[in-house]
Amino acid sequence: MLRRSPSARRSRLVPPVVALLAVGASTLAVPAAADAHGLAGGRELPIPEWLFAWAAAIVLVVSFVGLTVLWHRPRLAVLAEGRVLRVPVGAQAAGRVALGAIGVGLYGLTIWAGLSGIDNPQSNLAPTMVYVGFWVGLPVLSLVVGDVWRALSPWRAIADAGGWIARRAGGPDALPAPLRYPERVGAWPAAAVLLVFAWLELAAGNRDDPQLLGVLALLYGAAMLVGCGLYGTTFLDRADGFGRYFALAATLAPVHWERGRVRLRVPGSGLATIEPSPGLAAVVLTLIGTTTFDGISNGELWSSDGALGTTLEDLFGDLGLGASSAATAAATVGILLAVGLVTLFVRLGVAGVRSVDRERLRDVDLLGRFAPTLAPIAIGYAVAHYVSLLLIQGQALGFLLSDPRGDGSNLFGTAGWGVDYGIISPEATWYLQVAALVGGHVAGLVAAHDLALRTFRGPRAAVRSQYWMLAVMVAFTSLGLWLLS
């Protein structure tokens, strides 16, 4: 290893320290938000918000310095190999069938409840299943047990079952060969799906309408099955926005499921196995941007008098829209602005990375290459933002599954269950949120450093390139903590 003079070592630490001071100072100037989405008792935090922000920034800088000193060659790909445990093929097949049946059953139950149940979203299964069990619960589950959605997906289960029946009835050549999925399209449809779903959740005035959710779930499932009919189940790996999201979360899990075996690996090492593809960066940036808007829209920056949100609502109201339509239009603009600003900020960071070796990286899609390293940030944002929603409202699934239509049924004997609102204290919620947020950024920092070592010539150039990504990470951490506080 090359020896460097003390002055050279000090000069290497200047950029991260400057990043810490600049972003940390900005956190002191930001006013506290009114009430954070999903954070009960946000005004009575265990320690001041500014101290959390500084502590988080320091954790990232210390992590960066530690990586610079101790991590001189790529390691994540080796760590991702982990330890392989053999699983009998029959047992794994039975497990997939059972999970697929559960997925189809829950999917059908949700549609049935949405289309034929009562209109009250608190008493109908569909809204809670879609927004809490599916959208929030599955990413958290994927962080622990791996890509369970691949087995639970009702569309994959139906497509696999249909193919199996056709082959049994007409032989191996009963089904025509699927079309080849266009590589240039990549994950762009998945990014569009996530953006539309975020709009439904955050902007649509009738987002909680059970019948609307039932119809949309039915239509989306039909679209996925048509895609499978044309391109095979590869279509789900590329175009299913939810599947892409859950698969990204699963790369951080200590478990990876393969055919006939289970791989135990270091959490987060799966990021090194993600292959860059067109649209993958759009998926990640959409997740970060929409979650950021969700946080902003619940604070004074958006909803107070004279703020951006109320100004936009007044503007659309002056154009002739009703109050509900004006609010939807304003939120639509806000979502697009949040995604656009996050994308612009990340692109600036990537431009700085490219400046380290501009000649060699002229034709390299660095944004696409480094997109997987931003996945932990997106997951950390989502977990931190929605964890209290999952812990509180997720309990309602216990009685809603027994009475999905709100008609007094008790299918599984759990209709009498209640919700324990004291299951977690505000202070514990805050610590859990901060841990998710900072942990996601540290994981992203590690993944970006490891990828830089594989991208640049020599560890010195790799470290220089990551000064820019460190600034991005610190800024996103401070923004996330401010949105939660």
285 phi/psi in degrees, rounded to 5: -65, -35
Taking Cα atoms as reference points, which of 201, 106, 209, 92 lies closest to residue 155? 106
Q: What is the pLDDT along the chain (485 residues), one digit of tens a residue?
A: 333 444 443 444 344 443 433 333 333 333 333 333 332 333 344 556 666 667 777 777 788 788 887 888 888 888 988 888 887 777 778 888 999 999 999 999 999 999 999 999 999 999 999 999 999 999 999 999 999 999 999 999 999 998 888 888 876 666 788 899 998 999 999 999 999 999 999 999 999 999 999 999 999 999 999 999 999 999 999 999 999 999 999 999 999 987 778 889 999 999 998 888 899 999 999 999 999 898 888 877 888 888 889 999 999 999 999 999 999 999 999 999 999 999 998 888 888 888 887 777 776 788 888 888 889 988 988 888 888 889 999 999 999 999 999 999 999 999 999 999 888 888 888 888 888 888 888 888 888 888 888 888 777 888 887 787 778 877 777 777 777 66
pLDDT computed for residue 48 by the predictor: 60
Are 284 and 248 a contacting pair, CB within 8 Å?
Answer: yes
Rounded distance between C-alpha atoms, residue 327 and residue 339, angstroms: 18
Residue 64, C-beta contacts closer than 8 angstroms, at least 6 positions apart: 16, 445, 449, 466, 470
Which helix (H) or strand (E) covers residue 35, if one does?
Answer: none
What DSSP line would sit under 94-146, residue for residue?
A: HHHHHHHHHHHHHHHHHHHHHHHS-S-TTTSHHHHIIIIIIIIIHHHHHHHH-
DSSP 210-235: HHHHHHHHHHHHHHHHHHHHHHTTHH
Q: Please give the pLDDT value at position 32.
A: 36
Structure-block tokens of residue 464: 């220089």
Residue 59: helix, strand or coil by DSSP?
helix
Whole-number pLDDT of residue 49? 62
Structure tokens at 170: 């007409």
The whole-number pLDDT of residue 174 equals 66
Residue with tokens 């003390």: 6
Joined tokens for residue 195: 């953006």
- What is the CA 201 to chain-centroid distance, rounded? 15
Cα-Cα-Cα-Cα dihedral of 410, 411, 417, 423, to 10°?
A: -160
pTM check: above 0.75:
yes
CA distance 380 to 268: 12
Is residue 433 within a helix (H) or strand (E), and if so which, with residue range? helix 426-455
Q: Burial code of 429-458, b = ≥16 C-beta within 10 A, e = fewer? A: bbebbbebbbbbbbbbbbbbbbbbbebbee
Ramachandran angles phi, psi of 111, nearest 5°? -65, -45
Residue 254 near residue 265, CB atoms below 8 Å:
yes
Strand bridging mode 261-264 / 83-86: antiparallel
Supply 76's token pair: 């994540």
Helix (H, G, I), strand (E, B) or coil at 256: strand
Helix (H, G, I), strand (E, B) or coil at 88: coil
186: left (phi > 0), else alpha (psi -120 to 50), else beta? left
* Residues near 60 by beta carbon (within 8 Å), at least 6 away in sequence: 20, 438, 441, 442, 445, 470, 473, 474, 477
**Confidence (pLDDT) at 50:** 65
